[in-house]
Amino acid sequence: MIKPLLAGLALTVFLLGFTTQLYSNLFQMLEGADSFFIPVESDIWRFEVTKSNPGSGSWWLFARDQQHYYALSKEQPEYIYIRQDNSCDAFDPFKLETWCTARTSPLPDRQAGK
């Protein structure tokens, strides 16, 4: 009885990995252990990187999930986020100057010193 249950659970997790961002995020977390993070407002299942650092680092520059858009700040050790259903005029998820109702949050401790 326990073997079919475990097999079903393993199959479910395997399939969820292909229908969510799970595998991509796990890979990024392993590869960039000191630089990749998922904001506390999101989760490993839905966080999707939309623009990565073009250099050798494995951090993201822009990302999204089902509720928010995210961006790393260029000036402060923080990230910026805004609801997808915002009311900003001419909103562009890749142009921070259009993020009229954005909020900020500090980077996790391991990124704050970089």
Digit-coded pLDDT (tens) for 23-38? 777 877 777 667 789 9
Structural domain contains residue 83: yes
- Give the residue among 62, 58, 64, 72 at the shortest CA–CA distance from 43: 64
pLDDT at 63 over 90: yes
Q: Is residue 11 part of a domain?
A: yes
Alpha carbon 22 to chain centroid, angstroms: 11
Range of the domain at 70: 2-109
Going from the C-alpha of 107 to that of each of 5, 67, 90, the distances in angstroms are 40, 19, 28
In a domain, 114, yes or no: no
Angle at 60 between CA 59 and CA 62, to 5 degrees: 165
- Give the residue-averaged pLDDT of 93-104: 96
Q: How many helices (H) and strands (E) does the chain have?
A: 3, 5
Count of domains forming the chain: 1
If one compares 108 and 112, the residue with the highest pLDDT of the two is: 108
Q: How confident is the model at residue 113 (pLDDT cuts 50, 70, 90)?
A: very low
56 within some domain: yes
Mean pLDDT (whole number) for 100-108: 95
